[in-house]
């Protein structure tokens, strides 16, 4: 993600790095999301996310930043699956690049952790937190399954 903010072209470049199989799986997941908004429907929502992401940096978050993350979680749950994941990846990379020494985890991870806390405590926008949490879990699950498949294929090819 080369720019100082997350743009539509950044999101496209981010997803171009994934294999067609992963993109197909994620397209299917995104097609099932009936509650989301698109850039055409709510351009101000996407502009707000693009402008806000670079400002979320310090980990662990202060109470003020936690409020920002909570608002961000609500926003990210309202956009398509891939927009959400690309935004979290941008947050992660941007926050770590800005201050690698003091950040134990990136801001994308912190956002996921706060979403998990909201789900556990059932305090705040639980439905939005559940969407963000489940999207990240889905990505991890798909990534693990695909890496296992690749590893198995490599092992099989060694014996062939």
pLDDT digits (tens, 9 = 90+) for 50-105: 777 665 544 466 788 888 899 999 999 999 999 999 999 988 888 777 765 565 67
Residue 125 has pLDDT above 60, yes or no: yes
The pTM of this model reads 0.60
Quick one: pLDDT at residue 1? 39
For 4-62, the DSSP string reads SS--HHHHHHHHHTS-HHHHHHHHHHHHT--S---TTT-HHHHHHHHHHGGG---SSPP
Rounded-to-integer distance, Cα 66 and Cα 69, Å: 5
Distance CA 71, CA 125 (A): 9
Report the Cα 99 to chain-centroid distance in Å: 20
DSSP 79: S
CA distance 119 to 130: 6
Half-sphere exposure in the Cβ direction for 157 (13 Å, CA): 6
pLDDT surpassing 90 at residue 135: yes
Count CA within 13 A, CB hemisphere, residue 143: 7
Residue among 122, 134, 119 nearest 76 (CA): 134
Q: How far apart are CA 10 and CA 116, in angstroms?
A: 27
The Cα–Cα gap between 106 and 93 comes to 7
* Percent of all residues in the chain with a pLDDT value above 70, rounded to a whole number: 76
**Span 23-38, pLDDT tens digits:** 888 888 888 888 888 8
């Amino acid at each position: 993600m080369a720019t100082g903010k997350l743009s539509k072209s950044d999101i496209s470049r981010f997803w171009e790095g994934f294999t067609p199989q992963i993109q197909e799986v994620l397209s299917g997941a995104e097609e099932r999301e009936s509650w989301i908004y698109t850039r055409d429907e709510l351009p101000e929502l996407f502009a707000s996310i693009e402008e806000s992401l670079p400002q979320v940096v310090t980990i662990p978050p202060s109470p003020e930043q936690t409020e920002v993350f909570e608002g961000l979680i609500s926003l990210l749950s309202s956009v398509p699956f891939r927009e959400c994941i690309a935004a979290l990846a941008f947050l992660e990379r941007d926050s770590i690049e800005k201050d690698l020494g003091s950040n134990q985890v990136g801001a994308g991870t912190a956002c996921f952790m706060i979403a998990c806390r909201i789900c556990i405590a059932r305090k705040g926008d639980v439905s939005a937190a559940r969407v963000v949490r489940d999207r990240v879990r889905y990505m991890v699950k798909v990534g693990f399954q695909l890496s296992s498949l690749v590893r198995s294929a490599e092992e099989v090819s060694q014996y062939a």
